[in-house]
Structure 1
Amino acid sequence: MHMAAQHPTAAVLLCEVVMEILSWVPAKPVTRLKLVCKSWNSIISHPHFVKLHLHRSSKNAILLFTLTQPLTLGEERKQSIVLSSVESFIQNPSSALDAQENHHSLHVQDWVSGSCNGLVCLARILYHPNNHICDIWFRLLNPLTGFISENSPCLSVSMHTAFGFGYDESSDSYKVVTVIRDSSGTVTAQVYSFGGSSWKRANSFPAFPFSVEDNGHFIGGTLNWLGLRNPHGGAYDWADVTLDMLMIVSFDLKSDTNKQILLPKGIDEIPGQKPTLGVWENSLYLLHDYKNTHLIAWQMKEFGDENSWTQLLKISFHHLGVERLLFPEFIFENGNIFMLRGRHRFEEVFYDRRDNSVKRVNILANNCYFDIFDYVESLIQPC
């Protein structure tokens, strides 16, 4: 007796059931399930499944670290990416960063300029110090799948350049933005959509980020920088900065336009040190010192609503055991745990506002400097 052929409708339903189940499996094991059979490989590779899986992936559970070994005489700088769960890192930071199975080597000239939807944006920079110009190419890396995109077209810019990377849902495209300040102090922006053939000039920027290391912070389809309204000739001394010069610029990736986000109304004087802007757990934060004695943290509860700025924290430097504001590195647990860079190169200070506790941790990851990014594991591989 012959087995009855499977009805097409039943096959479709079975495929949908398998897709539904697999979409809840974490990204790393689901990549191995491609080997089970051809039909599963086809399902997992389908663009609809990839987006569904990303939508259902755990957010704020994974951290991405870039480790950079200090330069030594006669040796090239070495860089790598490390992925760690938030839980593992908080429990034992050094052990999490030393886990070799989660390391991905980077080219000596590559710099991580952002992370979004499981993709890491790498900037390759070639400096021409004689004329203060550098050539930059960007490409995308998915550390989980090993996907690497083609390079963007080369962009020749001044050395005073800041980057930002994010996702434009309206066009289903990933974009990188460069904010450039020329010798006259004029600030402009160039936008590249991965898969495209050229850079596009955007409207002029009203401010320039404090530091070229300050990547744009992605949230709600926008990239955000904290900067100064064009200071004289592009140079400034913080002691001469006034509150009305300080602003947050928000760049909309859909329209390629920018607007200003007002600072919290409770800030009535210029901080003694440069403030820090950041996006943690899908909220915009602003951190600054108050009279060089306290750390203040503001959270924008609803992004885009300037009336939703809320003072989340005010803690004295004395309680933190420091004499000055520490550089904020990350915020965990919905704004409850603050990770601050300590006085020494590998020291981190963790402050938990739930019990007002302070913990100092020496993080020794093969004597490497590190930066930290929010990350979500995904199967995304854009064209």
Structure 2
Amino acid sequence: MKCSSFRLPEDVMIDIFLRLEVKNLARLRCVCKSWNTLLTSKTFVEIHLNQSMRNPRPLLFRHGISPSYLGFYSTKCKEFEDLCDPPFRTQLADLDVVGSCNGVLCFCSNGSDRSLIYLWNPLIKKYMTLPRPSLNPRYLGFGVNSVSGHLDDFKVVYSLRSNSWKNIAYGFPRSIEINRSHINSSVFLNGSVHWCARFSCYHDNSCPWLIVSFDFAKEIFQTVMMPYDLSTDDADKYLNVFDGYLCVFATIPNNTFRSYELWVMKEYGLTESWTKLYTIEKPQRIWWPLGFTERGKIFIRGECRHGGYGLLVYNPHSDTFKCIGVHLPYYAIQVLNFVESIIEPVSQSLILSRS
């Protein structure tokens, strides 16, 4: 279909389109060829993504049970916004989320076989199923090659630009074990995916903690140590991103009740720049931080006043907890930083790391 002969200047059209929700932009692509060309152009997609990155949204994924749940929570509106069910056959209850990047989610099958992997943009309802790797991946990470010039150059570790898996010369360090837990997934920041890890000392609890990263552009693994105060204890640790900084939640050992410290790396890659921001104390033995709200508060899974476990929001400035009325079964919730985009996951190339 051709649009009307009366056409606004392109910069005016872009300004109008940037004010619309992603789901409406997806519909407008069908109006006429010129609108579709503009809305799928590299210029518009990049401007739209940069605008969205200033306002990431917390995405909650309740998994491992049926029914599972995937949706946004707004602390401003104090309500949930459900996302549509994924279009692929596998149910959410049978999936783990690997990560979120540029508006695209990466899922893999849970359990012993993790070779079924999907990429999905839930706002424009586009997805692709990755070809199964010849090896069952032990660890997974998801991100984008930020220096390639392609916003959709997604990579799954183990480039989405030939639809095939690629072996890299130097695999995952053999002397290191990634700390796998129900909430300790990989974290993407500064063009690299990061995992919380520990040197392999078998049953020696004094083995140092560290962070392993994979640079998608250079295709190399790198390491950086945890804060010195956290490097050798046996307490739980979870990675996240806070206000653009790599951060770690760490359990305070030898405490009557479980408490956490929040540390941030002020200068990326520099061990000496680790800084402790908060100490969070809650008189419960079983609770843990999950991630951050859009206003810098902290999502926590813990016990609410009604006696069951639910989702709480912690305000570090007032040192208060507030239950937001979401029932959570044990070990079944993740919080992701999600950026809205109109990027479609399409076939490119994949990296396979042998461990």
Q: TM-score, normalised by structure 2?
A: 0.79
Selected match of 1:262 from 225, 232, 242: 225
Selected match of 1:296 from 249, 261, 273: 261
What is the match of residue 302 of structure 2? Answer: 342
**Residue 282 of structure 2 is aligned to residue 287 of structure 1:** no
What is the match of residue 71 of structure 2? Answer: 82
Opposite residue 166 of structure 2, the aligned amino acid is W
**Residue 174 of structure 2 is aligned to residue 174 of structure 1:** no
What is the match of residue 308 of structure 1? Answer: 273
- Retained in 1: the 8 A contact 2:106–2:117? yes
Opposite residue 143 of structure 2, the aligned amino acid is G
User: Could you say what the CA RMSD is over the residues aligned between the two structures, in angstroms?
Assistant: 3.1
Q: Would the alpha carbon gap of residues 79 and 241 (structure 1) be closer, same or farther in structure 2, given more than 3 Å must change? A: same
What is the match of residue 122 of structure 2? Answer: 143
| Distance apart, 1:210 and its partner CA | 1.3
Counterpart of 2:343 in 1: which secondary structure?
Answer: coil
C-alpha distance in 1 between matches for 2:100 and 2:30: 28
Q: Would the alpha carbon gap of residues 271 and 287 (structure 1) be closer, same or farther in structure 2, given more than 3 Å must change? A: farther
Q: What is the count of residue pairs matched by the alignment? A: 326
C-alpha distance in 2 between matches for 1:86 and 1:194: 38
What is the match of residue 185 of structure 1? Answer: none
What is the match of residue 316 of structure 2? Answer: 353
| Distance apart, 1:117 and its partner CA | 0.5
- Retained in 2: the 8 A contact 1:67–1:82? no
Q: Would the alpha carbon gap of residues 198 and 327 (structure 1) be closer, same or farther in structure 2, given more than 3 Å must change? A: same
Q: Would the alpha carbon gap of residues 310 and 151 (structure 1) be closer, same or farther in structure 2, given more than 3 Å must change? A: same
Q: Would the alpha carbon gap of residues 356 and 198 (structure 1) be closer, same or farther in structure 2, given more than 3 Å must change? A: closer
Opposite residue 70 of structure 2, the aligned amino acid is I
Opposite residue 164 of structure 2, the aligned amino acid is S
| Distance apart, 1:263 and its partner CA | 1.8
Opposite residue 260 of structure 1, the aligned amino acid is T
Q: Would the alpha carbon gap of residues 334 and 304 (structure 1) be closer, same or farther in structure 2, given more than 3 Å must change? A: farther
C-alpha distance in 2 between matches for 1:42 and 1:56: 20
Opposite residue 246 of structure 1, the aligned amino acid is W
Counterpart of 1:307 in 2: which secondary structure?
Answer: helix
| Distance apart, 1:140 and its partner CA | 1.0
- Retained in 2: the 8 A contact 1:26–1:57? no
Q: Which has the larger radius of gyration?
A: 1
* Structure 2 unaligned blocks of 5 or more: 347-355
**Residue 355 of structure 2 is aligned to residue 376 of structure 1:** no
- Retained in 2: the 8 A contact 1:60–1:281? no
Please show how residues 1-383 of structure 1 align to structure 2 within 5 Å.
14-68=9-63, 70=65, 77-88=66-77, 91-92=78-79, 96=80, 99-100=81-82, 102-105=83-86, 107-108=90-91, 109-124=94-109, 127=112, 134=113, 136-157=115-136, 161-171=138-148, 172=150, 173-177=153-157, 190=158, 193=160, 195-201=162-168, 202-205=170-173, 206-211=175-180, 213=182, 214-232=184-202, 236=203, 240-242=204-206, 244-265=207-228, 267=229, 270-271=232-233, 273-293=235-255, 294-315=259-280, 317=281, 320-323=282-285, 326-332=287-293, 335=296, 337-343=297-303, 346-364=309-327, 369-383=332-346
Q: Would the alpha carbon gap of residues 366 and 203 (structure 1) be closer, same or farther in structure 2, given more than 3 Å must change? A: closer
| Distance apart, 1:84 and its partner CA | 3.9
- Retained in 2: the 8 A contact 1:62–1:376? yes
Q: Would the alpha carbon gap of residues 195 and 338 (structure 1) be closer, same or farther in structure 2, given more than 3 Å must change? A: same
C-alpha distance in 1 between matches for 2:131 and 2:161: 7
Counterpart of 1:163 in 2: which secondary structure?
Answer: coil
Q: Would the alpha carbon gap of residues 285 and 126 (structure 1) be closer, same or farther in structure 2, given more than 3 Å must change? A: closer
- Retained in 2: the 8 A contact 1:111–1:123? yes
Q: Would the alpha carbon gap of residues 69 and 33 (structure 1) be closer, same or farther in structure 2, given more than 3 Å must change? A: same
* Structure 1 unaligned blocks of 5 or more: 1-5, 71-76, 128-133, 178-189
Q: Deviation string for 1:45-87 (max 9, x for gaps)?
A: 22332222111225444222223363xxxxxx55453234453
Q: Deviation string for 1:341-371 (max 9, x for gaps)?
A: 1147632343212122222344138999432
Q: Deviation string for 1:179-222 (max 9, x for gaps)?
A: xxxxxxxxxxx3x6464322324433242211165321100001
Q: Would the alpha carbon gap of residues 43 and 347 (structure 1) be closer, same or farther in structure 2, given more than 3 Å must change? A: same
- Retained in 2: the 8 A contact 1:346–1:369? no
Q: TM-score, normalised by structure 1?
A: 0.74
C-alpha distance in 2 between matches for 1:262 and 1:69: 32
| Distance apart, 1:334 and its partner CA | 6.0
Opposite residue 95 of structure 2, the aligned amino acid is D
